[in-house]
Every structure is written in C-alpha cells, then in structure tokens.
Structure 1
C-alpha cells in the first residue's frame, strides 16, 4: 500500500513539474540604441499582450553598448541606429562560430533640433558640419541673431553620434559639444536654450522645432517626414537595425516576425518613425 501511494505521489510530482514547465514564461532581452528604446518598448508591450507567456526586457545605453552585449552573450537582440562594424562581426563569428544576422526594422529621419524662438529655420549639410566641427560659432553666420551657438550631441557609444559624425560633420566634433546620455535629454536642453542646436531621432522632436535641411545652398530645405524619407529628399535618413548572433527560433523569431508585420510597422508610424514600406 505504501509503495502504491509513493508511486502515485511521484507521478503527481512529475505531472506538476511538466505542467509548470509548459506554463513557464519565455524571456527575450533587447538592448542598445536609445533611438530605438521607445519604439522597442511599444513593440514589446504589443507582442506581450498577444503572447502573455513571453517576457521582453528592453534597455538602452547606445548602439555600441547593445552590440557589446550581443558579443558577450548578455542580450538576445542588439538594437542599433548604425550598421554593425566589420570588427564587431568578426568577434561574434570567432566566439560563436556563426554569422551575424542583420534585420532592418524601421527608418529614421535624423532630425536637427532648434529652439522654437530661434530665427534660423533651415541649414545646409555643410553649415551643420561646420557648426558641429566648430568652424561656425555664431548664429549670425547662418542668418540668425548675434549669439554664440551652444552645441548638444550624443555620447560616443551612440550609433546616432557615429552616423552624424560620418554623414554630417565628416571629421572631428568641436570640443565644445556637450554630450548627453540620450536624445530626450538633448531635446530638453534645446527646449530650454534659445541659441542651442541638437540632433537625434525624429520621434523625439517635442517642444522644439525641426530644422529644414538642405543638401546644398541651391536646394530647398526639407523636413523629415514619411514622404521625404521614402523619396530620399530628406538628406539625413537611415535604417534602424536589430542584430542577432544567429538565425532566430521560437519566441524570438515570432517577436521579430511580428515587428516586421503590418501590425508591428503600424507602431513605427505611431511612435514617430517611418516604416520599411
């Protein structure tokens, strides 16, 4: 009798363990680009609502931080607002014997933020480069008031920093650029400082005005919008990426498929960025 009871108890314990395992929450970690944080949080919330057994943890820190976490194995997905570097790809290939998977997940018009009271409303790419390199230091040099230009930018681990440096500054930043830890901080600083300028993801432009950007002195100034990103008339646009160490499976694949679906891309528009199609 005791043996029978023991067998029944053991069987019940096994069934409980199996049952608990089937209901166990699956966790996906996403880390990196501050540009993508708000959008990724919305994606995570939307996906978890439909898939309550999956937990998605989203954190920022910058594109470089996310890719470093991908290399050391502490995140499943690295968000980046710039393409991964060959050296970073090599590290992952050497460590995990696999090729990095790059997934474009949205488009962004990298905005130049101005205070609403600033007379200046448009600048050429060359003027922006000269402002951020320190060659132009007063607003009167670009049609504004006689006032010193105060510069705000991202920290060097940011993909936005690297993209702006490569495509706009095309050289070294001025030593007077005040580096801030996220685009929201830059927008807040520009909102409070009439004679300042900043840059960052288009979705953050609240309480400031977007500067019209001109390819050259003869071109018309263009604001970032879905239409100008699509037809490539806005001159500072880019893809936003997700990087993985290998081809995704299970819940991670389901999440990425959902991000790229019409439902996931609808959130891109609602957040203030631009969809892939």
Structure 2
C-alpha cells in the first residue's frame, strides 16, 4: 500500500511538472501585442529595465528586439517580432518609484519598479494583489549606491552624513565652511516622486533636516549629474551608474570610516548610501509575461545585464579587499580568504533572512558547486561596544545562514561560523536603518587548490 501511494504521489508530481512546463512553453505561442507594462523608478526605468526586457525577449526567441523612445519623456517601449511575424511591445514608464505603486493601484501597470522598498501604506492599499513583500512578489534586481557628487575640480574628498544633511538643508551654504573654496553651494536634488530622493531623505536628512527651498529638482539622474558637472559650486546625489563626469565623494556614517561607492562597498551594502533596486509583481493573478521576465531578471543571465548597465549584480564574485583599520584578530581570521560579493541581512528584530538573502543562499550554493572551497561566515550584531550577548547573537546569525546553505546541499563541514559581536560597525546610527546595516553576516571564501579564482 505504501509503495502504491508513493507511486501515485510521484506520478502526480510528474504530471504537475509536465503541466507547468506546458504552461511555460505555451506562454509565447500566441502572445498579445502588449506583453506587459512596467511603471516606476527612473533609476531602474531609464536604462536597466529596458535592457533587461530586450535581453529577455531575445532569450525567449523573439527577433529584432529594440528599445525605442515613446512620445512622453522618460517613457520607452521595447518592441520585437514574434515567430508569427507580429510585433509585440513592452512598455516602460519611468516617472519615479511612487508612480509605479499608483499605477498598480489604478490598474495601469502589471508590475512596479522601485528604488526603495514598498511603504507600509502602499502595501496595505495593494493588498488585493496579495502581500507585495512576499518572496513571490518582491525581487531585488540589483544593488545601487547613491553617490554624492560635486564638480570635478572641487578639492573636497569626503563628507560625513551629518555634513551632507547640513548642506542639503541649507544650513551650510558655502564650500569654505567645509575647508573648500569660498564659493556658494548650489544644491541639486531629485524630485518628490523619485525613489532616489526618498532613500536619500531617509538615509541622510531624516526627520531633523528639511531640504532647502533653494534646491533645484530633477526627474532624471543623468540630467542632474550633467548640471553638477557644469557648475563648480554644485552638489547633488545620483544613482551609481549616472555619476558621469561628476566627482563622487567618500561618505562616512558618524564616526565610521568613509567609503567610496565602489563595486566592493556597494555589492556588500557596506557603503553608507547603498540601496536595493526592486521589482514588485502581484502574487494574485500576475501577468504571466511579467512573471517570466522577473524570473529572468534575477537569474545569472539577467544579473549580467545589471552589471553591463552599470549597477552591481548579485552574481557571487570573489573580491580582494584592502584591510587596514580592522583589528588584528579579525585580519588573522580572514587571512588567505577572499571576500565574496554578498552580505546576508535579516528582517528587523528577527533572526530570519530577508527575501534577497534567501535568493543569495541559492546563488552562493551554486557558486560553491562551480568553485569548490570553504566558507567562513562572520556575523555582526548591532549593539555598540563590547557586549557578550551581542557576540552570541552575531554567531547565531551566522548559524542561520549556515543552516540555509545546508538545506541547499552545502556540506556542514564546508562552512565555519565566527561571531564578531558589535565591532566593525558600518554606522553609529541607532535607528532602524542603522541597526539593519550593522546586523549582517559577511562571507569569506578559501578556494580549493583546483579552483580558479577571478576577482573583481
């Protein structure tokens, strides 16, 4: 009887798998003229989303996929030819992160692109589409860093977040107040609909500093960067891939050391103004084409597009960091290791991996299959100073990641865990954002003798 039941279950599973394959293969047999519409972030929609859509269409067998401007500024359409000879289109409208959630609410889009995480009130307003923060709805498509940019000839090299906040509030109005030239500061900022602005306001201005009324506002990152490059007194903030000819400053959070927005610091989200780029898709009756596209976007092939466009992909890569200020004990532990381009972070107040971390576990397990070696998971806690409980908690978080890797097939003996407590804080902010940034697990990798390592 048990054998018979097992056979029935297996046959049902095979039938279900075949049905899923048939649905997937039939998706593109007779597609509509407009496959789906995406609305939202200009950071994502200006270059990244169109490039991802184009490569997705080509990967699915469409021909002559091209990105074309639409009649409205900051809107594009990606057109391609189906095997039947009919043209198909995907619309990308990039007017700011908030516009994407409004478009979902008004049934004007099939998915939203956002350069910030969905807000609680937006999540509640869209509850008819399911929980948009569930793993099936929320996907991190790439990592970006908000760069604080100035004119290339500006002599300053770094600022801390408090100084940046005072500049953008108008409290500091001349570069000479910061050791620079005697020149008025001209503030440039993204507009109110922008996820870049929303993230900057949250991470930099907070509740203490309003934006100066004299700020010049822009819908486009690229246009803002160009204006800063043309004005010796200007300062602004833009997405990582739109720095252009402007000069990016190193940024420090409180007393922590200043970091430039580079590949290592942004990939690991150690940089103070690193942020995630999101796609949101309804989990209830999603558009099948948008669903297939979102799966492509987070795949290895899709993440290569993220790299090509100028953002930081989530494909796991070995890095060779420079260790100068770290404690001797820490340097001894990670000696002869490579730092991998991923940090694991947790939901607020929980030892539970967030949606990005769950996907990163799969990526890390695949990386180890291709490049065998040992992992060292180094956990950190958010409490300041020496605290034995913080050390236990940091080690617990490392163990959570190890258990997730074991479930993905990584042998337990291949993964070591070290709890480093609350040292090496990335920020001294004690708000929720600061705690989340400090609450992390670093991943260090020592390859087997036969593994060939190519670092960034």
TM-score by length of structure 1 reads 0.86
SS in 2 for 1:36: helix
C-alpha displacement at 1:184, in angstroms? 1.0
C-alpha displacement at 1:250, in angstroms? 2.7
Query: In the aligned structure 2, how far is the partner of 1:83 from the partner of 1:269?
Result: 21
Match of 2:193 in 1: 157
Match of 1:55 in 2: 89
Query: In the aligned structure 2, how far is the partner of 1:118 from the partner of 1:82?
Result: 30
Match of 1:137 in 2: 173
Query: In the aligned structure 2, how far is the partner of 1:203 from the partner of 1:159?
Result: 15
Match of 2:260 in 1: 223
2:270 corresponds to 1:233: yes
Match of 2:122 in 1: 88
2:102 corresponds to 1:68: yes
CA contact (8 A) 2:36 2:287 kept: no
2:224 corresponds to 1:192: no
Pick closer, same or farther for the CA change 1:220–1:47 going to 2, 3 Å.
same
CA contact (8 A) 1:39 1:271 kept: yes
Match of 1:270 in 2: 308
Pick closer, same or farther for the CA change 1:57–1:97 going to 2, 3 Å.
closer
CA contact (8 A) 2:139 2:298 kept: no
Match of 1:5 in 2: none
C-alpha displacement at 1:134, in angstroms? 1.3
- Using CA pairs below 8 Å that are at least 6 residues apart, which structure has the higher relative contact order? 1
Query: In the aligned structure 1, how far is the partner of 2:296 from the partner of 2:108?
Result: 23
Relative to total residues, which structure has the larger helix share, 1 or 2? 1
Pick closer, same or farther for the CA change 1:262–1:175 going to 2, 3 Å.
same
C-alpha displacement at 1:221, in angstroms? 2.9
Q: Which runs of 5+ in 2 are unaligned?
A: 1-28, 63-81, 83-87, 316-456
Query: Residue 46 of structure 1 is aligned with which of 29, 34, 55?
Result: 55
Pick closer, same or farther for the CA change 1:97–1:75 going to 2, 3 Å.
closer
Match of 1:175 in 2: 213
Q: Which runs of 5+ in 1 are unaligned?
A: 1-20
Query: In the aligned structure 1, how far is the partner of 2:228 from the partner of 2:129?
Result: 45
C-alpha displacement at 1:97, in angstroms? 5.6
SS in 1 for 2:180: coil
Match of 1:14 in 2: none
CA contact (8 A) 1:48 1:56 kept: no
Query: In the aligned structure 2, how far is the partner of 1:169 from the partner of 1:152?
Result: 14
Query: Residue 36 of structure 1 is aligned with which of 20, 30, 44?
Result: 44
Query: In the aligned structure 2, how far is the partner of 1:179 from the partner of 1:215?
Result: 25
